[in-house]
Amino acid sequence: MLRFTVLPEKPADAGAVEDLVAEVFGPGRFAKTAQRLREGNRPVEALSFVAIAAERGELIGSVRFWPIHVGEAPALLLGPLAVVPALRGQGAGLALMRRGIDEARGLGHRLVVLVGDAPYYAKVGFAPVPEGQMRMPGPVDPRRLLAQELSPGALAAACGPVRAG
């Protein structure tokens, strides 16, 4: 059983996080539509977390949340969520997301959006966005555009183009 701790990301973790994201997603990550929302944007510092392995103290996972708007409604973009490939399926990714979602709710954020695999993200409460409600800044399979309300009614209020900030 993998033992790890989820901690706030520190500035000293940035290089290891970038290396992990590069390992997990490769150079194709720069072509993804979600990346358009990260360019020129900065993750919410209070919502960036890392998973550290208990045995060796190594960074084994990370997640960041980015400020976006859907139409006029503020929201967060979750991602990238990255876990060392050999350690996937042992709970680090889910723990990272749960921590981030709980903290986001506590900070008063109302909605989290992501592009990803619906069955996996449903484990922490994400569901498909009604088709046509949000327009990403590039092509996205509508079945992979997911959202989680942190406040009742937040999804219904988020309609239109999705943009950074």
Residue 62, both tokens: 């990370």
The parts of the chain modelled with pLDDT lower than 70 are 27-31
Q: What is the pLDDT, as a whole number, of residue 29?
A: 66
Where are the strands (E) in the chain, listed by range?
4-8, 49-53, 59-63, 65-70, 73-78, 82-83, 111-115, 127-128, 134-135, 145-149, 160-164
pLDDT at residue 47, as a whole number: 98
- pLDDT, residue 2, reads 83
